[in-house]
Chain A
Amino acid sequence: KQEVTQIPAALSVPEGENLVLNCSFTDSAIYNLQWFRQDPGKGLTSLLLIQSSQREQTSGRLNASLDKSSGRSTLYIAASQPGDSATYLCAVSLAGGGGNKLTFGTGTQLKVEL
Protein backbone atom coordinates (compact mmCIF):
# COMPACT_ATOMS: atom_id res chain seq x y z
CA LYS A 1 0.00 0.00 0.00
CA GLN A 2 1.34 3.38 -1.02
CA GLU A 3 2.14 5.72 1.86
CA VAL A 4 3.04 9.36 1.41
CA THR A 5 4.77 11.39 4.10
CA GLN A 6 5.55 15.07 4.20
CA ILE A 7 8.15 16.80 6.32
CA PRO A 8 7.95 19.13 8.10
CA ALA A 9 4.34 19.03 9.29
CA ALA A 10 4.45 22.75 9.98
CA LEU A 11 6.80 25.54 9.07
CA SER A 12 6.95 29.21 9.97
CA VAL A 13 9.33 31.49 8.12
CA PRO A 14 9.88 35.22 7.69
CA GLU A 15 8.88 36.84 4.44
CA GLY A 16 11.46 36.62 1.68
CA GLU A 17 13.00 33.36 2.77
CA ASN A 18 13.51 30.50 0.34
CA LEU A 19 12.16 27.21 1.61
CA VAL A 20 11.92 23.53 0.78
CA LEU A 21 9.06 21.17 1.48
CA ASN A 22 9.69 17.45 1.37
CA CYS A 23 7.54 14.56 0.25
CA SER A 24 8.39 10.87 0.30
CA PHE A 25 6.48 7.87 -0.93
CA THR A 26 6.98 4.17 -0.33
CA ASP A 27 6.13 2.70 -3.73
CA SER A 28 8.18 4.14 -6.56
CA ALA A 29 5.86 2.74 -9.25
CA ILE A 30 3.90 5.97 -9.56
CA TYR A 31 2.24 7.44 -12.60
CA ASN A 32 2.79 11.06 -11.63
CA LEU A 33 3.15 13.35 -8.63
CA GLN A 34 1.25 16.55 -7.97
CA TRP A 35 1.71 19.37 -5.51
CA PHE A 36 -1.38 21.18 -4.26
CA ARG A 37 -2.13 24.14 -2.11
CA GLN A 38 -5.09 24.15 0.29
CA ASP A 39 -6.30 27.24 2.07
CA PRO A 40 -8.28 26.77 5.31
CA GLY A 41 -11.74 25.36 4.64
CA LYS A 42 -11.22 25.49 0.91
CA GLY A 43 -10.60 23.12 -1.95
CA LEU A 44 -7.31 22.27 -3.59
CA THR A 45 -5.39 24.32 -6.09
CA SER A 46 -3.06 22.38 -8.35
CA LEU A 47 0.45 23.88 -8.33
CA LEU A 48 2.66 21.52 -10.28
CA LEU A 49 2.40 18.14 -11.94
CA ILE A 50 5.46 15.99 -12.55
CA GLN A 51 5.12 12.96 -14.76
CA SER A 52 7.05 9.89 -13.68
CA SER A 53 9.48 10.36 -16.57
CA GLN A 54 10.29 13.94 -15.57
CA ARG A 55 12.80 15.23 -13.04
CA GLU A 56 11.37 18.65 -12.28
CA GLN A 57 8.77 21.27 -13.10
CA THR A 58 8.79 25.01 -12.57
CA SER A 59 6.05 27.59 -12.30
CA GLY A 60 6.96 31.10 -11.25
CA ARG A 61 8.55 30.99 -7.81
CA LEU A 62 7.82 27.29 -7.45
CA ASN A 63 10.06 24.44 -8.47
CA ALA A 64 9.27 20.80 -7.83
CA SER A 65 11.70 17.94 -8.30
CA LEU A 66 11.09 14.23 -8.46
CA ASP A 67 13.45 11.35 -7.73
CA LYS A 68 11.25 8.38 -8.40
CA SER A 69 13.82 5.73 -7.60
CA SER A 70 14.35 7.04 -4.09
CA GLY A 71 10.70 7.92 -3.59
CA ARG A 72 11.21 11.61 -2.98
CA SER A 73 9.96 14.94 -4.20
CA THR A 74 10.71 18.45 -3.04
CA LEU A 75 8.83 21.68 -3.53
CA TYR A 76 11.04 24.75 -3.53
CA ILE A 77 9.42 28.12 -2.91
CA ALA A 78 11.58 31.13 -3.65
CA ALA A 79 11.23 34.51 -1.97
CA SER A 80 8.26 33.47 0.15
CA GLN A 81 5.38 35.89 0.69
CA PRO A 82 2.59 36.05 3.30
CA GLY A 83 0.16 35.04 0.56
CA ASP A 84 1.99 31.72 0.32
CA SER A 85 0.65 30.78 3.75
CA ALA A 86 -1.42 27.63 3.30
CA THR A 87 -1.20 23.87 3.62
CA TYR A 88 0.81 22.21 0.89
CA LEU A 89 -0.06 18.67 -0.11
CA CYS A 90 1.78 16.29 -2.34
CA ALA A 91 -0.05 13.41 -3.95
CA VAL A 92 1.04 10.47 -6.05
CA SER A 93 -1.11 8.75 -8.58
CA LEU A 94 -2.20 5.17 -8.30
CA ALA A 95 -2.47 2.65 -11.09
CA GLY A 96 -5.79 2.31 -12.84
CA GLY A 97 -6.88 5.87 -12.46
CA GLY A 98 -5.43 7.32 -15.62
CA GLY A 99 -3.07 9.32 -13.49
CA ASN A 100 -5.83 10.95 -11.49
CA LYS A 101 -6.45 8.53 -8.60
CA LEU A 102 -4.35 10.00 -5.84
CA THR A 103 -2.79 9.10 -2.52
CA PHE A 104 -2.16 12.22 -0.50
CA GLY A 105 0.58 13.11 1.90
CA THR A 106 0.05 14.37 5.37
CA GLY A 107 0.62 17.99 4.39
CA THR A 108 2.92 20.82 5.43
CA GLN A 109 1.25 23.82 7.02
CA LEU A 110 3.23 26.89 5.99
CA LYS A 111 3.05 30.29 7.59
CA VAL A 112 4.98 33.18 6.11
CA GLU A 113 5.23 36.09 8.48
CA LEU A 114 5.76 39.76 7.74
Chain B
Amino acid sequence: GAVVSQHPSWVICKSGTSVKIECRSLDFQATTMFWYRQFPKQSLMLMATSNEGSKATYEQGVEKDKFLINHASLTLSTLTVTSAHPEDSSFYICSAGRVNTEAFFGQGTRLTVV
Protein backbone atom coordinates (compact mmCIF):
# COMPACT_ATOMS: atom_id res chain seq x y z
CA GLY B 1 0.00 0.00 0.00
CA ALA B 2 0.88 3.64 -0.24
CA VAL B 3 2.92 5.32 2.47
CA VAL B 4 1.85 8.54 4.10
CA SER B 5 4.18 10.11 6.64
CA GLN B 6 3.10 12.72 9.15
CA HIS B 7 5.32 14.83 11.36
CA PRO B 8 5.56 15.52 14.23
CA SER B 9 3.86 12.64 16.00
CA TRP B 10 3.25 14.77 19.06
CA VAL B 11 3.71 18.38 20.05
CA ILE B 12 3.11 20.47 23.15
CA CYS B 13 2.82 24.20 22.69
CA LYS B 14 1.89 27.25 24.67
CA SER B 15 -1.46 28.91 24.20
CA GLY B 16 -1.28 31.60 21.52
CA THR B 17 1.51 30.03 19.50
CA SER B 18 1.22 28.38 16.09
CA VAL B 19 2.00 24.80 15.21
CA LYS B 20 2.73 23.33 11.80
CA ILE B 21 2.02 19.70 10.94
CA GLU B 22 3.40 18.10 7.79
CA CYS B 23 1.87 15.31 5.75
CA ARG B 24 3.90 13.64 3.01
CA SER B 25 3.03 10.99 0.47
CA LEU B 26 6.26 9.06 0.12
CA ASP B 27 5.71 6.82 -2.88
CA PHE B 28 3.08 8.52 -4.99
CA GLN B 29 1.89 11.93 -6.03
CA ALA B 30 -1.23 13.17 -4.26
CA THR B 31 -3.15 16.01 -5.84
CA THR B 32 -5.57 15.80 -2.95
CA MET B 33 -4.99 15.13 0.73
CA PHE B 34 -7.42 15.24 3.61
CA TRP B 35 -7.09 16.49 7.17
CA TYR B 36 -9.11 14.98 9.99
CA ARG B 37 -9.41 15.70 13.68
CA GLN B 38 -10.24 13.28 16.44
CA PHE B 39 -11.22 14.33 19.96
CA PRO B 40 -10.92 11.81 22.81
CA LYS B 41 -13.47 9.01 22.67
CA GLN B 42 -14.82 10.31 19.38
CA SER B 43 -14.44 9.30 15.78
CA LEU B 44 -12.55 11.13 13.08
CA MET B 45 -14.11 14.21 11.58
CA LEU B 46 -13.07 15.63 8.25
CA MET B 47 -11.72 19.16 8.60
CA ALA B 48 -10.66 20.06 5.10
CA THR B 49 -9.59 18.89 1.69
CA SER B 50 -6.14 20.01 0.65
CA ASN B 51 -5.77 20.63 -3.08
CA GLU B 52 -2.38 20.90 -4.73
CA GLY B 53 -1.87 24.32 -6.23
CA SER B 54 -5.18 25.76 -5.07
CA LYS B 55 -7.07 26.71 -1.96
CA ALA B 56 -8.21 24.12 0.52
CA THR B 57 -11.87 23.30 0.92
CA TYR B 58 -13.04 23.46 4.52
CA GLU B 59 -15.91 21.58 6.11
CA GLN B 60 -18.70 23.47 7.77
CA GLY B 61 -17.72 24.79 11.16
CA VAL B 62 -13.97 24.66 10.56
CA GLU B 63 -12.29 28.08 10.69
CA LYS B 64 -10.11 28.51 7.63
CA ASP B 65 -8.18 31.38 9.19
CA LYS B 66 -7.32 29.28 12.19
CA PHE B 67 -6.38 26.09 10.37
CA LEU B 68 -4.18 27.14 7.47
CA ILE B 69 -3.58 24.49 4.84
CA ASN B 70 -0.90 24.65 2.21
CA HIS B 71 -0.43 22.03 -0.51
CA ALA B 72 2.53 23.41 -2.36
CA SER B 73 3.69 20.20 -4.00
CA LEU B 74 2.29 16.85 -5.05
CA THR B 75 3.84 15.14 -2.06
CA LEU B 76 3.41 17.62 0.79
CA SER B 77 0.50 19.23 2.59
CA THR B 78 0.85 21.25 5.76
CA LEU B 79 -1.69 22.18 8.41
CA THR B 80 -0.87 25.15 10.61
CA VAL B 81 -2.90 25.66 13.75
CA THR B 82 -2.63 29.39 14.35
CA SER B 83 -2.92 31.00 17.77
CA ALA B 84 -3.61 27.62 19.32
CA HIS B 85 -5.76 27.37 22.43
CA PRO B 86 -6.40 24.46 24.80
CA GLU B 87 -9.64 23.61 23.01
CA ASP B 88 -7.57 22.91 19.88
CA SER B 89 -5.86 20.05 21.67
CA SER B 90 -6.70 16.99 19.64
CA PHE B 91 -5.36 14.24 17.43
CA TYR B 92 -4.83 15.50 13.88
CA ILE B 93 -4.35 13.03 11.07
CA CYS B 94 -3.97 13.30 7.32
CA SER B 95 -4.77 10.92 4.53
CA ALA B 96 -4.00 10.53 0.87
CA GLY B 97 -4.56 7.98 -1.80
CA ARG B 98 -4.54 7.43 -5.49
CA VAL B 99 -7.88 8.24 -7.11
CA ASN B 100 -10.42 5.44 -6.86
CA THR B 101 -8.34 3.44 -4.41
CA GLU B 102 -8.17 3.12 -0.67
CA ALA B 103 -7.17 5.97 1.58
CA PHE B 104 -3.93 5.71 3.55
CA PHE B 105 -3.33 7.60 6.72
CA GLY B 106 -0.36 9.19 8.38
CA GLN B 107 0.62 8.30 11.91
CA GLY B 108 -1.26 11.25 13.32
CA THR B 109 -0.16 14.19 15.48
CA ARG B 110 -1.18 14.54 19.10
CA LEU B 111 -1.41 18.28 19.80
CA THR B 112 -1.55 19.50 23.38
CA VAL B 113 -1.94 23.21 24.01
CA VAL B 114 -1.10 24.34 27.52
Contact = CB atoms under 8 A, between A and B. Distances in A.
Interface of A: 32, 34, 36, 41-46, 49, 89, 91, 97-107
A62 to B, nearest CB: 14
14 contacts: A43-B105, A43-B108, A45-B105, A46-B1, A46-B105, A89-B44, A97-B34, A98-B97, A98-B100, A100-B95, A101-B34, A101-B49, A102-B103, A105-B43
A42 B103 contact: no
Contacts of A49: 101-102
B93 interface: yes
Contact of B100 (A34, A43, A99, A102): A99
B37 to A, nearest CB: 11
Given A98-B99, A102-B46, A102-B103, A43 B34 contact: no
B102 A34 contact: yes
A47 to B, nearest CB: 10
A109 to B, nearest CB: 9
A46 B43 contact: no
A97 B49 contact: yes
Given A43-B105, A97-B34, A100-B99, 16 more contacts: A34-B103, A44-B95, A46-B103, A49-B101, A89-B43, A98-B32, A99-B97, A99-B99, A99-B101, A99-B103, A100-B97, A100-B102, A104-B36, A104-B43, A105-B43, A106-B43
Nearest to B102: A49
A102 B107 contact: no
B78 interface: no
A102 B101 CA distance: 12
Given A100-B32, A102-B34, A46 B104 contact: yes
A105 B46 CA distance: 12
B107 A43 contact: yes
Nearest to B103: A100
A41 B105 CA distance: 14
